[in-house]
Structure 1
Protein backbone atom coordinates (compact mmCIF):
# COMPACT_ATOMS: atom_id res chain seq x y z
CA UNK A 1 0.00 0.00 0.00
CA UNK A 2 1.44 3.38 -1.04
CA UNK A 3 1.36 5.87 1.80
CA UNK A 4 0.13 9.42 1.36
CA UNK A 5 2.61 12.07 0.28
CA UNK A 6 2.58 14.38 3.32
CA UNK A 7 5.10 16.12 5.53
CA UNK A 8 5.91 14.11 8.68
CA UNK A 9 4.80 16.76 11.17
CA UNK A 10 2.70 16.61 14.32
CA UNK A 11 0.07 18.75 12.67
CA UNK A 12 -0.23 16.29 9.79
CA UNK A 13 -0.29 13.41 12.25
CA UNK A 14 -3.19 14.96 14.15
CA UNK A 15 -5.07 15.69 10.90
CA UNK A 16 -4.61 12.16 9.57
CA UNK A 17 -5.73 10.62 12.87
CA UNK A 18 -8.95 12.60 12.63
CA UNK A 19 -9.40 11.45 9.03
CA UNK A 20 -8.81 7.85 10.09
CA UNK A 21 -11.44 8.16 12.82
CA UNK A 22 -13.95 9.60 10.34
CA UNK A 23 -13.14 6.91 7.74
CA UNK A 24 -13.50 4.14 10.34
CA UNK A 25 -16.89 5.43 11.52
CA UNK A 26 -18.01 5.88 7.90
CA UNK A 27 -16.94 2.33 7.08
CA UNK A 28 -18.98 0.93 9.98
CA UNK A 29 -22.07 2.93 9.00
CA UNK A 30 -21.79 1.89 5.36
CA UNK A 31 -21.23 -1.76 6.34
CA UNK A 32 -24.33 -1.67 8.55
CA UNK A 33 -26.28 -0.07 5.69
CA UNK A 34 -25.04 -2.73 3.27
CA UNK A 35 -26.08 -5.54 5.63
CA UNK A 36 -29.55 -4.07 6.15
CA UNK A 37 -30.00 -3.47 2.42
CA UNK A 38 -29.04 -7.09 1.75
CA UNK A 39 -31.51 -8.34 4.36
CA UNK A 40 -34.38 -6.36 2.85
CA UNK A 41 -33.27 -7.20 -0.70
CA UNK A 42 -33.34 -10.94 0.03
CA UNK A 43 -36.87 -10.68 1.42
CA UNK A 44 -37.98 -8.72 -1.66
CA UNK A 45 -36.35 -11.21 -4.03
CA UNK A 46 -38.17 -14.08 -2.32
CA UNK A 47 -41.46 -12.19 -2.65
CA UNK A 48 -40.68 -11.35 -6.27
CA UNK A 49 -39.84 -14.95 -7.16
CA UNK A 50 -43.01 -16.32 -5.56
CA UNK A 51 -45.14 -13.65 -7.21
CA UNK A 52 -43.52 -14.28 -10.58
CA UNK A 53 -44.11 -18.05 -10.31
CA UNK A 54 -47.78 -17.48 -9.50
CA UNK A 55 -48.26 -14.98 -12.32
CA UNK A 56 -46.49 -17.20 -14.86
CA UNK A 57 -48.54 -20.23 -13.85
CA UNK A 58 -51.80 -18.33 -14.17
CA UNK A 59 -50.74 -16.74 -17.47
CA UNK A 60 -49.79 -20.14 -18.83
CA UNK A 61 -53.17 -21.54 -17.85
CA UNK A 62 -54.97 -18.57 -19.40
CA UNK A 63 -53.00 -18.75 -22.65
CA UNK A 64 -53.61 -22.51 -22.87
CA UNK A 65 -57.36 -21.84 -22.70
CA UNK A 66 -56.96 -19.08 -25.28
CA UNK A 67 -55.10 -21.39 -27.68
CA UNK A 68 -57.91 -23.94 -27.40
CA UNK A 69 -60.51 -21.21 -28.01
CA UNK A 70 -58.58 -19.91 -31.00
CA UNK A 71 -58.53 -23.37 -32.53
CA UNK A 72 -62.32 -23.70 -32.46
CA UNK A 73 -63.56 -20.12 -33.00
CA UNK A 74 -63.46 -17.69 -35.86
CA UNK A 75 -60.17 -15.79 -35.61
CA UNK A 76 -61.78 -12.58 -36.83
CA UNK A 77 -64.26 -12.73 -33.95
CA UNK A 78 -61.49 -12.99 -31.35
CA UNK A 79 -59.47 -10.18 -32.98
CA UNK A 80 -62.53 -7.95 -32.89
CA UNK A 81 -63.02 -8.63 -29.17
CA UNK A 82 -59.47 -7.65 -28.20
CA UNK A 83 -58.97 -4.83 -30.72
CA UNK A 84 -60.35 -2.17 -28.36
CA UNK A 85 -59.34 -2.15 -24.67
CA UNK A 86 -62.23 -2.92 -22.37
CA UNK A 87 -60.88 -0.67 -19.64
CA UNK A 88 -58.32 2.08 -19.09
CA UNK A 89 -55.59 1.62 -16.49
CA UNK A 90 -53.98 4.72 -15.00
CA UNK A 91 -50.88 4.87 -12.88
CA UNK A 92 -49.82 7.17 -10.05
CA UNK A 93 -46.25 6.83 -8.84
CA UNK A 94 -45.14 8.12 -5.46
CA UNK A 95 -41.69 7.75 -3.96
CA UNK A 96 -40.66 5.93 -0.80
CA UNK A 97 -37.27 6.03 0.91
CA UNK A 98 -35.77 2.69 1.94
CA UNK A 99 -32.29 3.07 3.45
CA UNK A 100 -31.55 6.10 1.22
CA UNK A 101 -32.94 4.28 -1.82
CA UNK A 102 -35.83 6.03 -3.55
CA UNK A 103 -38.22 3.32 -4.73
CA UNK A 104 -41.55 3.71 -6.51
CA UNK A 105 -44.91 2.95 -4.97
CA UNK A 106 -47.21 2.30 -7.91
CA UNK A 107 -50.89 2.96 -7.44
CA UNK A 108 -52.86 1.54 -10.33
CA UNK A 109 -56.41 2.67 -10.97
CA UNK A 110 -58.80 0.55 -12.98
CA UNK A 111 -62.42 -0.44 -12.88
CA UNK A 112 -62.53 -3.51 -10.65
CA UNK A 113 -65.78 -4.63 -12.28
CA UNK A 114 -63.65 -5.73 -15.24
CA UNK A 115 -62.64 -8.76 -13.15
CA UNK A 116 -66.27 -9.81 -13.02
CA UNK A 117 -67.06 -8.95 -16.64
CA UNK A 118 -63.82 -8.38 -18.59
CA UNK A 119 -65.44 -8.06 -22.02
CA UNK A 120 -68.96 -7.49 -23.19
CA UNK A 121 -69.79 -9.91 -25.98
CA UNK A 122 -72.50 -12.31 -26.92
CA UNK A 123 -72.08 -15.96 -26.08
CA UNK A 124 -73.45 -17.19 -29.41
CA UNK A 125 -70.06 -17.11 -31.14
CA UNK A 126 -68.08 -17.84 -28.00
CA UNK A 127 -67.26 -20.97 -26.03
CA UNK A 128 -66.27 -21.97 -22.50
CA UNK A 129 -62.53 -21.90 -23.28
CA UNK A 130 -62.61 -18.28 -24.42
CA UNK A 131 -64.72 -17.23 -21.42
CA UNK A 132 -62.29 -18.95 -19.05
CA UNK A 133 -59.26 -17.39 -20.79
CA UNK A 134 -60.61 -13.82 -20.42
CA UNK A 135 -61.61 -14.48 -16.81
CA UNK A 136 -58.14 -15.76 -15.98
CA UNK A 137 -56.31 -12.88 -17.65
CA UNK A 138 -58.51 -10.32 -15.88
CA UNK A 139 -57.88 -11.79 -12.43
CA UNK A 140 -54.13 -11.79 -13.07
CA UNK A 141 -54.03 -8.01 -13.67
CA UNK A 142 -53.58 -6.89 -10.01
CA UNK A 143 -50.80 -9.44 -9.46
CA UNK A 144 -49.10 -8.42 -12.69
CA UNK A 145 -49.09 -4.77 -11.62
CA UNK A 146 -47.75 -5.69 -8.17
CA UNK A 147 -44.99 -7.73 -9.81
CA UNK A 148 -43.92 -4.67 -11.83
CA UNK A 149 -43.57 -2.62 -8.62
CA UNK A 150 -41.63 -5.31 -6.73
CA UNK A 151 -39.25 -5.99 -9.63
CA UNK A 152 -38.47 -2.27 -10.05
CA UNK A 153 -37.79 -1.99 -6.31
CA UNK A 154 -35.46 -5.01 -6.46
CA UNK A 155 -33.58 -3.45 -9.37
CA UNK A 156 -33.07 -0.10 -7.58
CA UNK A 157 -32.02 -1.78 -4.33
CA UNK A 158 -29.51 -4.01 -6.11
CA UNK A 159 -27.93 -0.93 -7.72
CA UNK A 160 -27.65 0.78 -4.31
CA UNK A 161 -26.16 -2.38 -2.76
CA UNK A 162 -23.49 -2.43 -5.46
CA UNK A 163 -22.65 1.26 -4.95
CA UNK A 164 -22.48 0.77 -1.18
CA UNK A 165 -20.29 -2.31 -1.60
CA UNK A 166 -17.81 -0.34 -3.74
CA UNK A 167 -17.64 2.43 -1.13
CA UNK A 168 -17.16 -0.07 1.71
CA UNK A 169 -14.35 -1.81 -0.20
CA UNK A 170 -12.67 1.50 -1.07
CA UNK A 171 -12.58 2.46 2.60
CA UNK A 172 -11.61 -1.00 3.83
CA UNK A 173 -8.89 -1.83 1.30
CA UNK A 174 -7.58 1.58 0.24
CA UNK A 175 -8.42 4.65 2.33
CA UNK A 176 -8.08 3.18 5.84
CA UNK A 177 -4.87 1.16 5.12
CA UNK A 178 -3.31 4.23 3.46
CA UNK A 179 -4.09 6.39 6.45
CA UNK A 180 -2.85 3.78 8.90
CA UNK A 181 0.43 3.32 7.01
CA UNK A 182 0.98 7.06 6.68
CA UNK A 183 0.28 7.60 10.38
CA UNK A 184 2.73 4.83 11.26
CA UNK A 185 5.36 6.38 8.96
CA UNK A 186 4.95 9.84 10.53
CA UNK A 187 5.11 8.42 14.07
CA UNK A 188 8.32 6.55 13.23
CA UNK A 189 9.78 9.67 11.60
CA UNK A 190 8.91 11.86 14.58
CA UNK A 191 10.40 9.34 17.00
CA UNK A 192 13.53 9.18 14.88
CA UNK A 193 13.79 12.98 14.89
CA UNK A 194 13.31 13.02 18.67
CA UNK A 195 16.10 10.49 19.15
CA UNK A 196 18.36 12.49 16.86
CA UNK A 197 17.57 15.67 18.79
CA UNK A 198 18.26 13.99 22.13
CA UNK A 199 21.56 12.62 20.80
CA UNK A 200 22.52 16.09 19.53
CA UNK A 201 21.71 17.71 22.89
CA UNK A 202 23.76 15.09 24.75
CA UNK A 203 26.75 15.74 22.47
CA UNK A 204 26.43 19.49 23.02
CA UNK A 205 26.21 18.96 26.78
CA UNK A 206 29.27 16.72 26.78
CA UNK A 207 31.20 19.26 24.74
CA UNK A 208 30.31 21.94 27.28
CA UNK A 209 31.38 19.73 30.16
CA UNK A 210 34.77 19.01 28.58
CA UNK A 211 35.52 22.68 28.21
Structure 2
Protein backbone atom coordinates (compact mmCIF):
# COMPACT_ATOMS: atom_id res chain seq x y z
CA UNK A 1 0.00 0.00 0.00
CA UNK A 2 1.47 3.32 -1.10
CA UNK A 3 1.89 6.15 1.36
CA UNK A 4 -0.41 9.14 1.36
CA UNK A 5 0.76 11.93 -0.91
CA UNK A 6 1.33 15.42 0.46
CA UNK A 7 -0.73 18.25 -1.00
CA UNK A 8 1.84 20.35 -2.86
CA UNK A 9 2.18 22.05 -6.22
CA UNK A 10 4.18 19.95 -8.72
CA UNK A 11 6.99 22.42 -9.26
CA UNK A 12 10.77 22.08 -9.27
CA UNK A 13 10.97 24.34 -6.24
CA UNK A 14 8.66 22.05 -4.27
CA UNK A 15 10.66 19.04 -5.48
CA UNK A 16 13.91 20.49 -4.14
CA UNK A 17 12.24 21.44 -0.85
CA UNK A 18 10.84 17.92 -0.40
CA UNK A 19 14.21 16.32 -1.09
CA UNK A 20 15.81 18.57 1.54
CA UNK A 21 13.06 17.69 4.03
CA UNK A 22 13.56 13.98 3.34
CA UNK A 23 17.32 14.29 3.89
CA UNK A 24 16.68 16.16 7.15
CA UNK A 25 14.17 13.53 8.30
CA UNK A 26 16.65 10.74 7.58
CA UNK A 27 19.31 12.59 9.57
CA UNK A 28 16.96 13.04 12.52
CA UNK A 29 16.02 9.35 12.37
CA UNK A 30 19.71 8.40 12.49
CA UNK A 31 20.27 10.61 15.54
CA UNK A 32 17.21 9.16 17.28
CA UNK A 33 18.40 5.64 16.48
CA UNK A 34 21.79 6.34 18.06
CA UNK A 35 20.07 7.81 21.13
CA UNK A 36 17.88 4.72 21.29
CA UNK A 37 20.92 2.44 21.27
CA UNK A 38 22.49 4.42 24.12
CA UNK A 39 19.24 4.24 26.10
CA UNK A 40 18.90 0.49 25.58
CA UNK A 41 22.51 -0.03 26.69
CA UNK A 42 21.81 2.03 29.83
CA UNK A 43 18.60 0.10 30.45
CA UNK A 44 20.47 -3.21 30.34
CA UNK A 45 23.07 -1.81 32.75
CA UNK A 46 20.42 -0.54 35.19
CA UNK A 47 18.56 -3.85 35.06
CA UNK A 48 21.73 -5.80 35.80
CA UNK A 49 22.48 -3.54 38.77
CA UNK A 50 18.91 -3.92 40.01
CA UNK A 51 19.05 -7.71 39.62
CA UNK A 52 22.31 -7.94 41.58
CA UNK A 53 20.96 -5.68 44.32
CA UNK A 54 17.63 -7.51 44.46
CA UNK A 55 19.38 -10.87 44.76
CA UNK A 56 21.67 -9.55 47.48
CA UNK A 57 18.71 -8.07 49.32
CA UNK A 58 16.74 -11.31 49.06
CA UNK A 59 19.66 -13.38 50.35
CA UNK A 60 20.23 -11.01 53.27
CA UNK A 61 16.58 -11.01 54.31
CA UNK A 62 16.32 -14.78 53.90
CA UNK A 63 19.39 -15.34 56.06
CA UNK A 64 18.15 -12.85 58.64
CA UNK A 65 14.75 -14.52 58.82
CA UNK A 66 16.39 -17.92 59.15
CA UNK A 67 18.55 -16.70 62.04
CA UNK A 68 15.49 -15.14 63.64
CA UNK A 69 13.70 -18.51 63.56
CA UNK A 70 16.76 -20.18 65.07
CA UNK A 71 16.86 -17.55 67.82
CA UNK A 72 13.24 -18.30 68.67
CA UNK A 73 14.04 -22.01 68.80
CA UNK A 74 16.98 -21.41 71.15
CA UNK A 75 15.70 -18.62 73.39
CA UNK A 76 11.97 -18.97 72.91
CA UNK A 77 9.47 -16.74 71.19
CA UNK A 78 8.64 -14.75 74.32
CA UNK A 79 12.30 -13.98 75.06
CA UNK A 80 12.88 -12.77 71.49
CA UNK A 81 9.83 -10.49 71.71
CA UNK A 82 11.06 -9.07 75.03
CA UNK A 83 14.47 -8.35 73.54
CA UNK A 84 12.85 -6.73 70.50
CA UNK A 85 10.86 -4.38 72.73
CA UNK A 86 14.07 -3.13 74.33
CA UNK A 87 15.50 -2.05 70.98
CA UNK A 88 15.49 1.57 69.88
CA UNK A 89 13.16 2.01 66.87
CA UNK A 90 14.90 2.86 63.62
CA UNK A 91 13.95 6.39 62.66
CA UNK A 92 14.44 7.22 59.00
CA UNK A 93 13.03 9.24 56.14
CA UNK A 94 13.39 9.16 52.36
CA UNK A 95 14.39 12.34 50.53
CA UNK A 96 13.28 12.62 46.92
CA UNK A 97 15.08 14.66 44.27
CA UNK A 98 16.17 14.39 40.65
CA UNK A 99 19.49 13.43 39.09
CA UNK A 100 20.72 13.96 35.55
CA UNK A 101 21.37 10.67 33.79
CA UNK A 102 22.18 9.48 30.28
CA UNK A 103 21.32 11.94 27.47
CA UNK A 104 20.40 14.54 30.09
CA UNK A 105 17.34 12.59 31.27
CA UNK A 106 16.10 13.61 34.72
CA UNK A 107 15.85 10.50 36.89
CA UNK A 108 14.02 10.35 40.24
CA UNK A 109 16.56 10.04 43.04
CA UNK A 110 15.84 8.63 46.50
CA UNK A 111 18.12 9.05 49.50
CA UNK A 112 17.74 7.45 52.91
CA UNK A 113 17.91 9.94 55.77
CA UNK A 114 18.49 8.31 59.16
CA UNK A 115 19.88 9.08 62.59
CA UNK A 116 23.51 8.67 63.51
CA UNK A 117 24.75 5.15 64.13
CA UNK A 118 25.41 5.93 67.80
CA UNK A 119 21.79 6.94 68.36
CA UNK A 120 20.47 3.83 66.63
CA UNK A 121 22.41 1.21 68.57
CA UNK A 122 20.21 -1.39 70.16
CA UNK A 123 20.00 -1.51 73.93
CA UNK A 124 20.81 -5.20 74.06
CA UNK A 125 23.49 -7.13 75.89
CA UNK A 126 25.90 -9.06 73.69
CA UNK A 127 25.79 -11.87 76.23
CA UNK A 128 21.99 -11.92 76.28
CA UNK A 129 21.27 -11.87 72.56
CA UNK A 130 24.29 -11.76 70.25
CA UNK A 131 22.40 -13.22 67.28
CA UNK A 132 19.49 -10.83 67.62
CA UNK A 133 21.84 -7.86 67.81
CA UNK A 134 23.80 -9.00 64.77
CA UNK A 135 20.70 -9.62 62.67
CA UNK A 136 19.08 -6.38 63.78
CA UNK A 137 22.14 -4.52 62.50
CA UNK A 138 21.91 -6.40 59.21
CA UNK A 139 18.24 -5.43 58.80
CA UNK A 140 19.18 -1.83 59.59
CA UNK A 141 21.73 -1.80 56.76
CA UNK A 142 19.23 -3.40 54.40
CA UNK A 143 17.25 -0.14 54.33
CA UNK A 144 19.98 1.47 52.23
CA UNK A 145 19.69 -1.32 49.68
CA UNK A 146 15.89 -1.03 49.62
CA UNK A 147 16.03 2.70 48.85
CA UNK A 148 18.77 2.19 46.26
CA UNK A 149 16.69 -0.51 44.58
CA UNK A 150 13.71 1.84 44.54
CA UNK A 151 15.85 4.50 42.83
CA UNK A 152 17.03 2.00 40.22
CA UNK A 153 13.46 0.85 39.61
CA UNK A 154 12.32 4.45 39.11
CA UNK A 155 15.21 5.06 36.68
CA UNK A 156 14.34 1.90 34.74
CA UNK A 157 10.72 3.03 34.48
CA UNK A 158 11.83 6.44 33.20
CA UNK A 159 14.18 4.83 30.67
CA UNK A 160 11.39 2.59 29.38
CA UNK A 161 9.14 5.61 28.83
CA UNK A 162 11.85 7.52 26.95
CA UNK A 163 12.73 4.44 24.87
CA UNK A 164 9.07 4.02 23.96
CA UNK A 165 8.89 7.68 22.91
CA UNK A 166 12.06 7.41 20.80
CA UNK A 167 10.74 4.32 19.05
CA UNK A 168 7.46 6.03 18.23
CA UNK A 169 9.36 9.02 16.82
CA UNK A 170 11.61 6.79 14.71
CA UNK A 171 8.66 4.74 13.42
CA UNK A 172 6.75 7.89 12.49
CA UNK A 173 9.69 9.19 10.49
CA UNK A 174 10.61 5.89 8.85
CA UNK A 175 7.14 4.53 8.14
CA UNK A 176 5.07 7.68 7.64
CA UNK A 177 7.03 10.84 6.85
CA UNK A 178 9.73 9.39 4.58
CA UNK A 179 7.24 7.26 2.58
CA UNK A 180 5.07 10.38 2.18
CA UNK A 181 8.08 12.30 0.90
CA UNK A 182 8.97 9.47 -1.50
CA UNK A 183 5.42 9.23 -2.85
CA UNK A 184 5.15 13.00 -3.28
CA UNK A 185 8.60 13.25 -4.89
CA UNK A 186 7.67 10.51 -7.36
CA UNK A 187 4.41 12.31 -8.13
CA UNK A 188 6.13 15.65 -8.77
CA UNK A 189 8.83 14.02 -10.91
CA UNK A 190 6.12 12.26 -12.92
CA UNK A 191 4.15 15.48 -13.37
CA UNK A 192 7.26 17.43 -14.38
CA UNK A 193 8.16 14.73 -16.88
CA UNK A 194 4.64 14.89 -18.32
CA UNK A 195 4.86 18.66 -18.56
CA UNK A 196 8.24 18.41 -20.29
CA UNK A 197 6.86 15.91 -22.78
CA UNK A 198 3.84 18.11 -23.48
CA UNK A 199 6.11 21.12 -23.91
CA UNK A 200 8.34 19.15 -26.27
CA UNK A 201 5.32 18.12 -28.34
CA UNK A 202 4.06 21.70 -28.36
CA UNK A 203 7.47 22.96 -29.50
CA UNK A 204 7.64 20.40 -32.29
CA UNK A 205 4.14 21.35 -33.44
CA UNK A 206 5.04 25.03 -33.45
CA UNK A 207 8.27 24.34 -35.29
CA UNK A 208 6.42 22.30 -37.91
CA UNK A 209 3.79 24.98 -38.39
CA UNK A 210 6.48 27.63 -38.64
CA UNK A 211 8.31 25.56 -41.22
CA UNK A 212 5.11 25.05 -43.18
CA UNK A 213 4.44 28.79 -43.15
CA UNK A 214 7.96 29.52 -44.32
CA UNK A 215 7.70 26.97 -47.11
CA UNK A 216 4.29 28.30 -48.12
CA UNK A 217 5.59 31.86 -48.16
CA UNK A 218 8.58 30.77 -50.23
CA UNK A 219 6.33 29.00 -52.71
CA UNK A 220 4.00 32.00 -52.93
CA UNK A 221 6.93 34.33 -53.47
CA UNK A 222 8.36 32.12 -56.18
CA UNK A 223 5.09 32.17 -58.13
Q: Which residue of 2 aligns with 1:120?
A: 123
Alignment match of 2:102 (pick from 98, 104, 108): 98
Q: Which has the larger radius of gyration?
A: 2
CA deviation after TM superposition for structure 1 residue 81, in Å:
5.3
Q: Which residue of 2 aligns with 1:57?
A: 59
Q: Which residue of 1 aligns with 2:37?
A: 35
Matched pairs, number: 208
Deviation larger for 29-38 or 85-94: 85-94
Q: Which residue of 2 aligns with 1:160?
A: 162
Deviation larger for 63-72 or 164-173: 63-72
After superposition, the C-alpha distances for 1:68-123 in whole angstroms (9 at most, x for unaligned) are: 445622276367457x7332334142331421421123333223516x95433467
Q: Which residue of 1 aligns with 2:220?
A: none
Q: Which runs of 5+ in 2 are unaligned?
A: 214-223
Q: Which runs of 5+ in 1 are unaligned?
A: none
Q: How does 1:132-211 map to 2 (within 5 A)?
A: 132-211=134-213
Alignment match of 1:109 (pick from 100, 113, 132): 113
SS of equivalent residue, structure 2 residue 183 = helix
C-alpha change, 1:23 and 1:46, in structure 2 (3 Å) is same
CA deviation after TM superposition for structure 1 residue 163, in Å:
0.9
| CA RMSD across the alignment | 2.5
Deviation larger for 100-109 or 189-198: 100-109
How far apart, CA to CA, are the structure 1 residues paired with 2:148 and 2:162?
21
Deviation larger for 139-148 or 164-173: 139-148
After superposition, the C-alpha distances for 1:161-194 in whole angstroms (9 at most, x for unaligned) are: 1110111111111111211121122112101111
Question: 8 Å contact 1:70–1:78 — kept in the other structure?
Answer: no
C-alpha change, 1:98 and 1:81, in structure 2 (3 Å) is farther
SS of equivalent residue, structure 2 residue 42 = helix
SS of equivalent residue, structure 2 residue 92 = coil
Runs of 4+ in 1 over 6 A off after TM superposition: none
SS of equivalent residue, structure 2 residue 209 = helix
Query: Normalising by the residue count of structure 1, what TM-score does the alignment of the two structures yield?
Result: 0.85
How far apart, CA to CA, are the structure 1 residues paired with 2:201 and 2:121?
96
Matching of residue 16 in structure 1 with residue 21 in structure 2: no
Matching of residue 73 in structure 1 with residue 73 in structure 2: no
C-alpha change, 1:54 and 1:202, in structure 2 (3 Å) is same
Question: 8 Å contact 1:65–1:132 — kept in the other structure?
Answer: no
Q: Which residue of 2 aligns with 1:85?
A: 89
Query: Normalising by the residue count of structure 2, what TM-score does the alignment of the two structures yield?
Result: 0.81
